[in-house]
Amino acid sequence: MDSFDQKIVQELQRNGRITNAELADKVGLSQSACLRRTKNLEHSGIIRGYSAIVTKPSDDTPLMFVQITLDKQSRENFSRFDEKVRKCSSVLGCYLVTGPFDYLLILRPSDFANFNDIFHQELAALPDVARRISYSVVRTVVGGQELVS
């Protein structure tokens, strides 16, 4: 990705509904060059889709993070875990990370009772897990929309 591609991605992360004409003007390209680059970013998988930022229904709907540590860091364990966690409908995001644990999961249960069910049923059924630690978001300080800088 060159600097124009990075600018395109940044602008689309700010506003996925921007017109190609507006986008081209903001990044300093002709409309045809901007459209071609945007299509290339989509076809290469850098841009995987567009979505809406939705305000959660109420402040009672918790956002939860769960740290997962596998009992053994082997290719087989990672593959087994990856396959099973993709089938967990309650998991909004799952990230393999560096540091003192292996995965970070993001969940949006309907309430804390629902989180308890998810934690003790769905997440407890995941293979090769040595430890699960959960965190509840108390307040969002910055709602990170932009992932590429």
Give the domain CATH number at 120.
3.30.70.920
Residue 144, domain member (yes or no): no
Clarify whether residues 129 and 70 are in a common domain. yes
**Structural domain containing residue 12:** 3-44
Element (H, E) at 115: helix 112-117
* 117 located within any domain: yes
Is 106 part of a structural domain of the chain?
Answer: yes
Structure-token pair, residue 87:
């089938």
Tally of structural domains, the chain: 2
Q: Is residue 125 part of a domain?
A: yes
Q: pLDDT (tens digit, 9 = 90+) per residue, 31-40?
A: 999 999 999 9
Q: What is the pTM of this model?
A: 0.64
Find the helix or strand (DSSP H, E) in which 77 lies.
Answer: helix 75-85
Inside any domain, residue 14: yes
| Residue range 62-103, pLDDT digits in tens | 789 999 999 999 999 999 999 999 999 889 899 999 999 999
64: left (phi over 0), alpha (psi -120 to 50) or beta: beta
The answer as to whether 123 is a domain residue is: yes
